[in-house]
Amino acid sequence: MKNAVGRDIPEFLLKDGREVYQGKNYMDGKYLQKAAPRTRRYEKPQESKLVDSIVDALKQVGAKSGMTFSFHHHLRNGDFVVNMVMQAAIEELGLDNITIAATSLGEAHDPVAQYIEEGKVVGIQTSGIRGKIGEVVSAGKLKTPAIIRSHGGRPRAIEAGEVHIDIAVVAAPTSDCVGNCRGIGGKSNCGSLGYAMTDAKYADHVIVVTDCLVDFPNMPASVEAIDVDAVVVVDSIGNPKKIASAAARISQNPRDLMMAENVAKVIASTPYFKEGFSFQTGVGGPSLAANLFLEKYMDERGIKMGWAIGGICGPMVEMLKKGKVGKVIDVQDFDLDAVNSINQTPGHFEMSASQYANPANKGAFVNKLDFVVLAALEIDTGFNVNVLTGSDGVLRGAPGGHPDTAAGSKCCIIVTPLVRGRMATVCKNVVTVTTPGDCVDVLVTDYGIAVNPLRPDLIKCLDDAGIPHVTIESLQEKAYSLVGTPDDLEWEDKVVAVLEARDGTILDVVRKIKPLKL
State the residues that interact with other proteins by CB under 8 A. Answer: 252, 254-255, 257-258, 391-393, 420-423, 446-447, 481-484, 486-487, 489-490, 513, 515-516, 518
Q: Cβ 67 to other proteins, closest distance in Å? A: 37
Task: Return the number of the residue (155 or 417) whose C-beta is nearest other proteins.
Answer: 417
- Secondary structure letter of residue 78 according to DSSP: G
Q: Cβ 413 to other proteins, closest distance in Å? A: 19
Q: DSSP letter string over 372-434?
A: EEE--SEEETT--EE-SB-TTS-B-B--TTHHHHHHHSSEEEEE--SEETTEESEESS-SS-S
Beta strands per DSSP E along 103-142: 104-105, 121-126, 128-129
Q: Cβ 282 to other proteins, closest distance in Å? A: 22
Task: Return the number of the residue (34 or 422) whose C-beta is nearest other proteins.
Answer: 422
Q: Cβ 479 to other proteins, closest distance in Å? A: 11
CB atoms within 10 A of CB 437: 22
- Residue 286: helix, strand or coil by DSSP? helix
Task: Return the number of the residue (19 or 446) whose C-beta is nearest other proteins.
Answer: 446
Cα distances (Å, whole numbers) of residue 25 to 159, 193, 359: 18, 28, 9
The length of the chain is 518
Q: Cβ 269 to other proteins, closest distance in Å? A: 16
Q: DSSP letter string over 184-244?
A: SSSSS--S--HHHHHHHHH-SEEEEEES-B-PSP-SS-SB-GGG-SEEEE-S-SB-HHHHS
Task: Return the number of the residue (260 or 308) whose C-beta is nearest other proteins.
Answer: 260
Identify whether the C-beta of residue 116 lies closer than 8 Å to the C-beta of residue 90. Answer: no
Residue 483 CA to residue 423 CA, distance in Å, equals 7
Task: Return the number of the residue (163 or 450) whose C-beta is nearest other proteins.
Answer: 450
Task: Return the number of the residue (241 or 422) whose C-beta is nearest other proteins.
Answer: 422
Give residue 290's Cα distance to chain centre.
Answer: 20
Task: Return the number of the residue (156 or 478) whose C-beta is nearest other proteins.
Answer: 478
Q: Cβ 297 to other proteins, closest distance in Å? A: 17
Task: Return the number of the residue (303 or 483) whose C-beta is nearest other proteins.
Answer: 483
Task: Return the number of the residue (65 or 253) whose C-beta is nearest other proteins.
Answer: 253
Residue spans of alpha helices (H) in 415-487: 456-464, 472-483
Q: Cβ 446 to other proteins, closest distance in Å? A: 5
Tell me the HSE value of 8 on the side-chain side, using a 13 A CA sphere: 4
Q: Which residues contact 185 (CB under 8 A, 6 or more apart)?
A: 173, 174, 212, 214, 218
Task: Return the number of the residue (275 or 392) whose C-beta is nearest other proteins.
Answer: 392
Residue 252 CA to residue 233 CA, distance in Å, equals 42
Q: Cβ 237 to other proteins, closest distance in Å? A: 35
Cα distances (Å, whole numbers) of residue 358 to 151, 166, 168, 330: 7, 21, 19, 15
Cα distances (Å, whole numbers) of residue 464 to 268, 296, 347: 12, 20, 36
The angle that helices 314-321 and 285-301 make with each other, rounded to 10 degrees, is: 20
Q: Cβ 506 to other proteins, closest distance in Å? A: 24
Cα distances (Å, whole numbers) of residue 46 to 73, 160, 165: 30, 32, 25
Q: Cβ 489 to other proteins, closest distance in Å? A: 5
